[in-house]
Structure formats: structure tokens, C-alpha cells
């Protein structure tokens, strides 16, 4: 029968092993966070596309579960080869879980911010029909690895195309998610400026959020006189607002405000 001293020593060993594992897991999670939030989900996509919640869910389970299993299986009384095998299996399973989680985050990541008729839409990799990927125009990657890019949907060529695109949108395939409609943002600047509304209208609609709107413009170095806005649609239920330079159509800021 094990003595009280030996049992206590075993628990301390297990805690130490689990703590080391937890530290290593946290380090790997931090490196993964740099990839996810530094490239795939920069602001505001980490919020509007749900990237933050998805990453936290995936990584939290992986980071916590590995050390807990290590705590359960670590025992110096085991033969060295058996203990090494157990810890290796735990590490491999945890790494596999992390890679699967990152794959899930990758498939859900935003790839483009698309100006679409009278709004902006965040398009995610999973939104794009695979059969249309080959129709992306030259110079526009379907899924850029360096983060979402700003593009636009071209105008309809005729009424038939407009009808077909509208029917497809009703079935869940939005115009902005179709590579055959993509074009460089620069080619749509006039259309963007025509659709955009003066930010003064936004201030009038939401007087209770005036301070927040003013702060966003100030941060961008703009005033109400040279700022316009358009609504933004993303994965989350709540809509956002894009602030634009009223002369160049460049995006200068974002607001968690439903401006539809």
C-alpha cells in the first residue's frame, strides 16, 4: 500500500506535468491566434464574422483538454516507455484537434469585403460556390491567405442576368459571393459614391449614438462634411456600418450600428 508521502508526491508530479503541458498549449494557441487574428480575421472581421467566438471555442477546448488528459495519465510508476507512449498519444491527439479546429476556422474565414449594389457584404470562403471559383477575374484571388480584400460586384449586363442572379440570391447564393460578378473596387468607385449617404443622416437617425459616430470619424481624421456611409452585412445577425471618404470611396472606419 502506498504511503501518504508517496501519494502526495504522485499528485504533485501530475500537477507539474499538466502545468507544463498547459504552458506549451497556451504558447501554441498564442501562435495560432497571431495567424487567425493577424491575417485571417483582422478587425472588424473577428467580430462581424464570428472569428473570435469560433477561435476561442476551438482553442479553449483543445488547450484545456490536453493538460487534463496529461494529468490523468501521468504516473512515474509506469515503465518509461509506456509513459512516453501515453504522453505522445496525448500530444498527437491534441495537435490533430488543433489542426482540425484551425481548418474549421479557415473554411469559415472572410476572404472579401464586396460592394454589392447599395451595401457592403463580407464574403466567407464557405459562401463561394466551388463551381464558380474558376470564373474569378484575373488579379482577384478566390481565397487570399493574407486577409480579406476589398472588391466590388459588377453591374448586371442585362435584365435576364439580373433575374437569374436575384433567383440565385433567394436560394442563398449572394451576388457578392459569385466570382463571375467580381471586379476591382476601383472600377466601382463612382457607384459606391452614388449609393453612399452623408454621415449627417446617420447622426440624425441615431442621435443617441452621436458621440460614438463622432469618435469614429475623429479616429479616421474625418469630419461629417467629408464622410459618407453604407450598411454592412456579415455572418452575425446584427448589421454594421462602413464609413467612407465621401470623395474617394475609401473605407475609413466601421461602426457596430445597423444602418439599413
pLDDT value of position 192:
97
pLDDT value of position 236:
61
As a whole number of angstroms, the distance between CA 121 and CA 151 comes to 10
C-alpha distance from residue 245 to each of 193, 213, 249 (Å):
9, 14, 5
Are 122 and 236 contacting, i.e. CB atoms less than 8 angstroms apart? no
Q: Give exposure, 150-175, as e/b (b: 16+ Cβ within 10 Å).
A: bbbbbebeeeeeeeebeeeeeeebbb
As a whole number of angstroms, the distance between CA 123 and CA 183 comes to 14
| pLDDT digits (tens), the chain, 260 positions | 444 444 444 778 888 888 888 888 888 888 888 888 888 888 898 888 877 777 887 777 777 888 888 888 888 778 888 888 888 888 888 888 888 888 888 888 999 999 999 999 999 999 999 999 999 999 999 999 888 999 999 999 999 999 999 999 888 899 999 999 999 999 999 999 999 999 999 999 999 999 999 999 999 999 999 999 999 998 765 689 999 999 999 999 999 998 88
**How many CB atoms are closer than 10 A to CB 131?**
8
Residue 198, classed as helix, strand or coil, is strand
pLDDT value of position 260:
82
As a whole number of angstroms, the distance between CA 103 and CA 111 comes to 15
pLDDT value of position 102:
85
Round to the nearest angstrom and report the end-to-end CA distance of the chain. 72
As a whole number of angstroms, the distance between CA 86 and CA 172 comes to 47
Torsions phi, psi of 56, nearest 5? -60, -40
Amino acid at each position: 500500500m502506498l504511503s501518504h508521502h508517496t501519494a502526495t508526491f504522485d499528485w504533485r508530479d501530475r500537477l507539474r506535468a499538466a502545468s507544463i503541458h498547459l504552458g506549451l498549449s497556451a504558447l501554441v494557441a498564442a501562435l495560432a491566434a497571431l495567424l487567425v487574428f493577424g491575417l485571417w480575421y483582422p478587425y472588424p472581421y473577428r467580430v462581424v464574422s464570428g472569428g473570435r467566438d469560433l477561435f476561442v471555442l476551438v482553442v479553449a477546448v483543445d488547450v484545456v483538454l490536453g493538460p487534463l488528459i496529461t494529468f490523468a495519465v501521468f504516473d512515474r510508476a509506469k515503465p518509461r516507455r509506456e509513459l512516453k507512449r501515453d504522453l505522445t498519444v496525448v500530444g498527437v491527439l491534441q495537435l490533430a484537434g488543433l489542426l482540425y479546429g484551425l481548418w474549421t476556422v479557415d473554411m469559415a474565414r472572410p476572404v472579401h469585403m464586396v460592394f454589392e449594389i447599395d451595401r457592403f457584404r463580407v464574403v466567407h470562403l464557405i459562401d463561394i460556390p466551388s463551381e464558380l471559383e474558376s470564373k474569378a477575374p484575373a488579379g482577384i484571388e478566390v481565397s487570399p491567405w493574407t486577409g480579406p480584400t476589398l472588391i466590388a460586384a459588377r453591374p448586371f449586363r442585362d435584365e435576364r442576368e439580373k433575374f437569374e442572379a436575384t433567383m440565385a440570391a433567394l436560394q442563398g447564393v449572394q451576388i457578392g459571393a459569385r466570382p463571375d460578378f467580381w471586379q476591382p473596387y476601383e472600377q466601382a468607385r463612382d457607384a459606391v459614391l452614388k449609393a453612399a449617404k452623408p454621415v449627417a443622416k446617420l447622426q440624425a437617425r441615431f442621435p443617441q449614438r452621436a458621440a460614438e459616430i463622432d469618435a469614429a470619424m475623429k479616429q479616421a481624421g474625418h469630419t461629417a462634411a467629408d464622410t459618407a456611409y453604407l450598411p454592412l452585412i456579415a455572418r452575425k445577425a446584427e448589421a454594421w456600418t462602413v464609413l467612407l471618404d465621401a470623395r474617394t470611396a475609401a473605407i475609413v472606419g466601421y461602426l457596430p450600428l445597423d444602418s439599413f
